[in-house]
Amino acid sequence: MNKIRDAFNNKKAFIPFISVGDPDIKTSENIIYALEEAGCDLIELGIPFSDPTAEGPVIMRASERALLNKITSDDVFELVKKVRKTCQIPLAIMTYANVIYSYGIEEFAKKAHEVKIDALILADVPFEEKDEFEKIFLSYDIYLISMIAPTSKDRVEMIAKNAKGFLYCVSSLGVTGVRNDFSDNLESLIKTVKKVNPDLPCAIGFGISSSKQTRRFKKFSDGVIIGSEIVKIIEKYGRNSSTEVKKFAIDIKNSISNL
């Protein structure tokens, strides 16, 4: 049974991202446990890709380090299989279409289902081109998460009406990475989504890096997604990063939980 909605049940969700295999698989495993212990609600697991077009320099470097470790989709699946023995937190895979194509869409979906992945995020697949993926993944009870940006005005209702699991609301134009300037249209964008689909959770990602920003966005969203700031901590502390990641995650979780 898909557990994505568990991340949002009667609470605001904190969704961290890590690039699997940076600095190595064992550290990624320890970080997953640390994030669950910190109270995170859903974890995005990035499969490294050689041309991550949606990523800024921080996550690009992490992906490069993971690729140097020869991390593959099968390595990610094996990691998930291992952590699933004790870890019950909802898990999503974030990657790119070519990773799925090269593996085989049906085979990738089947394998993801076997290890109890709950969702897939494809950063380079627009809503209009998602059907070839979504039909197959839904047959394995895996949600293909739709993304929506401040420039999506004419498409908001269509995307909101058909989105599954939750809606990934991109905070601003450009690639991932820590920033201080965000679109002024986010609140109105989410209000439009809620008019069309009141039960669809909306989580804001791209650029969020602090509890101050989290407190700002939780006022009108259902959760926040943080990637680059966590990956920066991993880059700094390497194999000793799980403790520091946990400290950061606890701070963010407290900021999004407290009214």
pLDDT of residue 173: 54
pLDDT of residue 52: 72
Burial of 220 (0-12, 13-18, 19+ CB in 10 A): middle
pLDDT grade, residue 180 (50/70/90)? low
pLDDT grade, residue 183 (50/70/90)? low
Q: How far is the C-alpha of 53 from the C-alpha of 41, rounded, in Å?
A: 26
pLDDT of residue 181: 54
- Domains belonging to the chain, first-starting first, are 11-257 (3.20.20.70)
pLDDT tens-digit readout, 37-50: 999 999 999 999 88
Burial of 6 (0-12, 13-18, 19+ CB in 10 A): middle
Reply yes or no on whether the pLDDT at 184 is more than 80: no
Claim: this prediction has a pTM higher than 0.75: yes
pLDDT of residue 141: 97
pLDDT tens-digit readout, 58-107: 999 999 999 999 999 999 999 999 999 999 999 999 999 999 999 999 99
